[in-house]
Amino acid sequence: MKKLRIKSIYVLLTIFVFSLLLNGCTSNNDTSKNKEIKIAEQYGLAYAPLQIMKDKKILEKNLPEGEVIWKQMGNTAAIREGMIANQVDVGFMAIPPFLIGWDKGMDWKIASGVSSMPIGLVTYKSEIKTIKDLTSKDRIALPQPGSIQHIMLSMASEKTFNDSRKFDNQLVTMAHPDGMNALLAKKDITAHFTSPPYIFKELEHEGFHKVLSGKEAMGKDFTFIIGVTTKAFHDKNSEGYKAFVESLKEAISFINKHPDKAADILAKEYDLPKKEVLKYITADGTVYSQEVNGLEDFADFMKRNDYITKSFKNKKEVLWEDVTDDK
* Interaction pattern, residues 171-210, with another protein; x per rule: CB under 8 A: xxxx-------x--x-xxx---------------------
* Interaction pattern, residues 98-117, with another protein; x per rule: CB under 8 A: --xx--xxx-----------
Exactly one of 34, 129, 133, 145 binds another protein (CB under 8 A); which one? 145
Query: Could you give phi then psi for residue 266, rounded to 5 degrees?
Result: -70, -35
Listed ranges 39-47, 77-85, 226-234, 246-254: which one lies at the site for another protein (CB under 8 A) = 77-85
- At residue 254, the 3 state secondary structure works out as helix
CB of 179 to another protein, least distance (A): 11
Strands (E), the chain: 36-41, 67-72, 90-93, 108-116, 120-123, 139-142, 171-173, 189-194, 209-213, 225-230, 287-288
Number of residues that bind another protein (CB under 8 A): 29
Distance CA 253, CA 122 (A): 31
Listed ranges 37-45, 169-177, 207-215, 314-322: which one lies at the site for another protein (CB under 8 A) = 169-177
Q: Which is nearer to another protein, 51 or 76 (CB)?
A: 76
Listed ranges 49-57, 122-130, 137-145, 255-263: which one lies at the site for another protein (CB under 8 A) = 137-145
Q: Which is nearer to another protein, 144 or 282 (CB)?
A: 144
Q: Does residue number 39 form part of the binding site for another protein (CB under 8 A)?
A: no
Residues 245-274 that bind another protein (CB under 8 A): none
Q: Does residue number 307 form part of the binding site for another protein (CB under 8 A)?
A: yes
Q: Which residues of 8-32 are buried (b: 16+ CB within 10 A; e: fewer)?
A: eeeeeeeeeeeeeeeeeeeeeeebb
Q: Which residues of 213-225 are buried (b: 16+ CB within 10 A; e: fewer)?
A: bbbbbbeeebbbb
Distance CA 140, CA 157 (A): 13
- At residue 87, the 3 state secondary structure works out as coil
Distance CA 293, CA 270 (A): 27
Q: Which is nearer to another protein, 54 or 80 (CB)?
A: 80
> Other CB atoms closer than 10 Å to residue 148's CB: what's the count?
29
Distance CA 227, CA 91 (A): 6
Listed ranges 116-124, 145-153, 242-250, 280-288: which one lies at the site for another protein (CB under 8 A) = 145-153
Bridge partners, 121 (sequence order): 193, 212
- At residue 71, the 3 state secondary structure works out as strand
Q: Which is nearer to another protein, 81 or 317 (CB)?
A: 81
Q: Does residue number 22 form part of the binding site for another protein (CB under 8 A)?
A: no
Q: Does residue number 170 form part of the binding site for another protein (CB under 8 A)?
A: yes
CB 318 within 8 A of CB 295: yes
Q: Which is nearer to another protein, 174 or 225 (CB)?
A: 174
CB of 100 to another protein, least distance (A): 5
- Name the site residues for another protein (rule: CB under 8 A): 76-77, 80-81, 84-85, 97, 100-101, 104-106, 139, 144-147, 169-174, 182, 185, 187-189, 307
